[in-house]
Structure 1
Amino acid sequence: MTTSVDNAQTATDPTDTLGTVIDDVIRPQAPIVDRNGAFPRPGVDALAAAGLLGLASSTEVGGAGHGMRAVAEVIERLAAECGSTAMVVLMHYAATAVIEAHGPRDVRAAIAAGDHLTTLAFSEYGSRSHFWSPTGTATVADDDTVRLDARKSWVTAAGEANSYVWSSLPLTRDAGPMTLWLVPSDSAGLSVTGDFDGLGLRGNGSRPMTADGLRVPSTARMAADGAGLDTALGAVLPWFLVLNAAFCLGLADSAVAEAGRHLTGTTLAHTGAALRDAPVTRRDLARLMIRTDALRAFLGDTLTALETGRDDAMLRVLQVKALAGETVADVTDGAMQLCGGSAFRKELGLERRFRDARAARVMAPTTDALHDFVGRLATGLPLLDEANR
């Protein structure tokens, strides 16, 4: 498992501008993005202009060179304001981890400069949430190109990203379970084949895509043929799972804060008492705060495990998204109950956070799959049995 430690600081740190971008663009746009199911292009462009899309890119290609801890904080802060924007950026960072390790220098430099949005394209109709078992094919063509054919079921920022880290079966059947490719968005044969009208994360552009005779040069392959699963587990999964936990933390923390403001500022006219004056109400708010702070502590320990190369780092990475998915679901549900009928109104923002939080449990690897993975490691079994590799 690989990750980078936050040991790079640039003269102008992009994270210094995050608050301004949030105040000026992300927060005001969040209700519009949710209401219209619109891709958060203004927010993504503002983050790009501030250098935040290149936050995890190497300084060698002009990036900020930050590690996972700083990136997780960015995702947490974005999720607190707009879950859709946070998820688009999360997937960009997860895909960037692969491109940094195996992608071409010009694309790496474009990401570092904020000129290139990328994303993962793993989920398929044939294998659903089992991203480690692609059904899409890759075949050698006659002119030093490779033909890709697949039906991807969920691709965040579909039709909006500049490139896709694309999974397929290997060229050679016994080479391994999966191969990864870097697919440019303007590739002939690549199309978005559906719309997204979701319960939550309504603006993240998670739509199906199809590759029908799509051609890429053989040099578009990232890592060796058949080594895609090892790359996904070693380079992508830590970023994806840890950033998902940060995403959940941002949602949960903002829901607790909003509930606290509501309980403090709402007074019963017939008694003159604020909602916070009821001991049971304070107890329930405290429980939500403790659950959220426990997730924060676990996420911090997971990052430390990665940064120090601890033996339990892989276990922590698997555990943290499972914990986060259940925590944010329970906390946002509890915040809705605490605020009563007021929580159903759009202006509090609680019902949006409640809906956005539902995605964490079912986003692959799902909570159920992660529990199985944790149990396998805890009992000495490999993460995936041979039938799934």
Structure 2
Amino acid sequence: MAEAEAFDRIGADWDPDWLLTDAQKELRAQLIEICNTTLHPNAIEFDKTYEYPRRNMEALASLGLLALHVPKKYGGLGENHVCVAMVLETIGRYGCPSTALVYTMHLLSVSALLFRAEGNPEIEAVLRRLNDDVFIGTASYSDPETGSHFWYPMASKAEKTDDGWRVHKKSSWTTSGGFADFYVAQTSSPDFNGDFANLSVFLVMKDEIVTGESNWSAMGMRGNQSGPIEINGVEVNKHRMVGFPGDGATSNDEALDPIGLTMFAASYNGIALAAMDIAKGQTTRKVHKDVGMRVADYPTIQDYVGECLMDTEASRLYTFGVAQALDQATDNCDWTRHGREPDWTPRTNLLHWTWMSKFISCKNVYNVLDKMLQACGGSGYKTSLGLERLLRDGKAGWVMGPTNEVLRQFVGKAALLGMDSLDYWNQVPNEGVLNNELKKLDEDAKRDLIARLSADLEKQAAE
């Protein structure tokens, strides 16, 4: 069975459609059609050529999806978090995982803009261009010095100018880097004084960033074109700051992380479903004539699919449940209320639930891909079936920031010691460890430490 061939998928009886409105079901049907005719065939090609999936983004724009959760007052569809999760899952399942990732980062950048859109002419102009101009955005938050701890931008700064701001940024990983039309970038604030919790967000255009020749070469997600970018002292007007100085940490916890992690989870749920779709097509068609049984007739294969489907449905329902909670907390994803109430941050209280959503989904897809490969046997190992491509794409989720290791520690530490113990910006000393280490010092080492601390105090006093 060739990858592009049609086959019977896991049936609609296994879709939690009670969560969707009739309009959302219709949108999904239209999206599946575009996935079948455009996104999926292109996914096969892009995996071979590393082409950036702009053609797929153009197809999404034809349905208005580049402004999916943008309020109607700005020309968007005004959809909610549940719909966002459904769309990402659908693209991951029926379409193109690389496009799902590019689209996730697009909606992530749009979310940052929506959080502070009210009364900002630069942001409002971008929001109105999204579909008509296929105006693709991305978020540039990573830092070469802090890796997946993207909330800690050490290689960045911003300065106040007479007309606005001068922005300096180095990013180690930016999806769509050099291909996106606009970038939402985070730096330390113009009044930075050593506190990396003091962050600001800026809107930067494609011609204002520097990126090298495209050299993205990876195991999977070959269309997303992730790579380093630089913003080298670009001067922007005052409206290009998204929000106000120091608003970055609040933006992270309210506008980016909750919806971003939900989108990641939904995308990888879609990839898990796609793998099971392929396995169903292969195992129900492949016949062992010596025993008169299809591969799907073997209890072992049924066990593989049954357990993987139950685990994936649990992940799907968790993701949709978190999306539903976000809708309930935000008046059904009403971004305009942030303009009326700038201190309104209802998603922040649900952030830790979205951590778990991303972790569960990206852990589950690892297992599902491996089991579906085993179910398909040697045919699954061949590139022609398409499972091999999904396996490579699906492995990306675990290592994307925040990585599953980071999320697992966040949840465990916060559950045991409280949310304040997380100390994102390394500001709170661990006095227990510190005091224990001091016991190990001999007299000379203690005198040396006292001298160095005294010198630091004198330097701080002089400054």
Normalising to structure 2: TM-score of the pair? 0.77
Match of residue 17, structure 1, among 26, 30, 52: 30
Shift in CA distance, 179/383, structure 1 to aligned 2, threshold 3 Å: farther
Alignment match, 1:161: 180
Please point out which of 320, 329, 343 is paired with 2:357. 320
Match of 1:170 among 189, 193, 218: 189
Matched residue, 1:240 = 260
In 2, the alpha carbon distance for the partners of 1:151 and 1:262 equals 46
**Which of residues 74, 84, 102 in structure 2 aligns to 1:88?**
102
Residue matched to 1:335: 372
The residue number in structure 2 matching 1:202 is 222
Report deviation, 1:304: 2.4
Determine which of 321, 327, 339 is the counterpart of 1:307.
Answer: 327
Paired residue type of 1:50: L
Q: Match for 2:163 among 140, 144, 147?
A: 144
Aligned to 2:307: 287
Name the residue aligned to 1:71: 84
* TM-fit CA distance, 1:38: 1.1
- Deviations 1:71-112 (CA, angstroms, capped at 9, x unpaired): 111111111121001111111111111111224211111125
Q: CA separation in 2, counterparts of 1:386 and 1:354?
A: 32
- Secondary structure class of the residue paired with 1:154: strand
Distance 1:193 1:230 in 2: 34
Distance 1:33 1:204 in 2: 9
- Paired residues of 1:119 and 1:163 also in contact (CA < 8 A): yes
By how many angstroms is 1:381 displaced? 2.8
Match of 1:59 among 68, 72, 89: 72
Q: Are the aligned partners of 1:9 and 1:64 in contact in 2 as well (CA < 8 Å)? A: no
Residue 142 of structure 2: aligned partner: 123
- Supply the distance in 2 between the matched residues of 1:287 and 1:144 (Cα, whole angstroms): 60
Cα–Cα, structure 1 residues 160 and 201, in superposed 2: closer, same or farther, change >3 Å?
A: same
1:36 paired to 2:49: yes
Q: Is this contact kept in 1: 2:180–2:206, CA < 8 A?
A: yes
Residues 122, 167 of structure 1: 8 Å contact kept: yes
TM normalised by structure 1 equals: 0.91
Contact 2:28 2:90 in 1 (8 A): no
1:98 has 2:112 as partner: yes
RMSD of aligned residue pairs (Cα, Å)? 2.5
- Once the two structures are overlaid, the 10-residue window that deviates more, 19-28 or 105-114, is 105-114
- Superposed CA deviations along residues 205-234 of structure 1, whole A, max 9, x for unmatched, are 112112222222232111221220210111
Aligned to 1:367: 404
CA shift, 1:8, in A, is: 10
CA distance in 2, matches of 1:335, 1:195: 31
In 1, the alpha carbon distance for the partners of 2:31 and 2:297 equals: 36
2-side partners of 1:244 and 1:383: how far apart?
26
In structure 1, what residue type is equivalent to 2:380? A
Rounded to whole Å, the distance in 1 between the matches of 2:381 and 2:326 is: 40
| Identity fraction in percent | 28
**Alignment of 1:185 onto 2:209:** no
Is residue 2:405 matched to residue 1:384?
no
Contact persistence 1:14–1:64 (CA under 8 A)? no
In structure 1, distance between residues paired with 2:256 and 2:316 = 22
Residue 199 of structure 2 contacts residue 245 of structure 2 at CA under 8 Å; is this kept in 1?
yes
Q: 1:3 matched to which residue of 2?
A: none
Runs of 4+ in 1 over 4 A off after TM superposition: 6-11, 13-16
Aligned residues: 383
Instruction: Look up the SS of the partner of 1:94 in the other structure.
Output: helix
Contact 1:179-1:228 at 8 Å conserved across structures: yes
Residue equivalent to 2:284:
264
Which deviates further from its counterpart, 333-342 or 318-327? 333-342
Q: In the TM superposition, what whole-angstrom CA distance separates every residue of 1:94-148 from its partner, at most 9, and x where no partner exists?
A: 1111111224211111125453111110112111100110023333265424222
Tell me the alpha carbon deviations over residues 37-87 of structure 1, each in whole angstroms, 9 at most, x when there is no partner.
Answer: 111121111111221111111101111000111111111111112100111
TM-fit CA distance, 1:185: 0.8
Provide the C-alpha distance between the structure 1 equivalents of 2:295 and 2:131, rounded to a whole number of angstroms: 48
Q: By how many angstroms is 1:200 displaced?
A: 0.8
Equivalents in 1 of 2:323, 2:161: separation in Å? Answer: 46
Distance 1:42 1:208, change over 3 A: same
Amino acid at match of 1:266: K
Secondary structure, counterpart of 1:53 in structure 2: helix
SS of residue matched to 2:377: helix
Alpha-carbon offset, residue 14 of structure 1: 5.5
- Structure 2 gap ranges (5+): 1-18, 118-122, 330-345, 428-463
Distance 1:388 1:16, change over 3 A: farther
Contact 1:98 1:235 in 2 (8 A): yes
Deviation readout 1:133-186 (Å, 9 max, x if unpaired): 002333326542422223211111112211011011111114743211111111
Range that drifts further, 307-316 or 71-80: 307-316
**AA at the equivalent of 1:93:** L
Tell me how far 1:27 sits from its aligned partner: 1.5
Are positions 1:356 and 2:393 aligned together?
yes
Please report how far the alpha carbon of residue 288 of structure 1 lies from its aligned counterpart in structure 2 after TM superposition: 1.1
The alpha carbon displacement at 1:198 in A equals 0.8
Q: Residue 226 of structure 1 aligns with which residue?
A: 246
Where structure 1 has 5 or more consecutive residues not aligned to the other structure, the ranges are 1-5
**Distance in 1 between the 2:171 and 2:422 partners?**
22
Distance 1:66 1:357 in 2: 27
Q: Which residue in 2 is equivalent to 1:297?
A: 317
Evaluate the alpha carbon distance shift between residue 274 and residue 321 of structure 1 in structure 2; reply closer, same or farther with a 3 A threshold: same
In the alignment, the residues of structure 2 paired with residue 241 and residue 318 of structure 1 have an alpha-carbon distance, to the nearest angstrom, of 7
How far apart in 2 are the matches of 1:67 and 1:29? 28
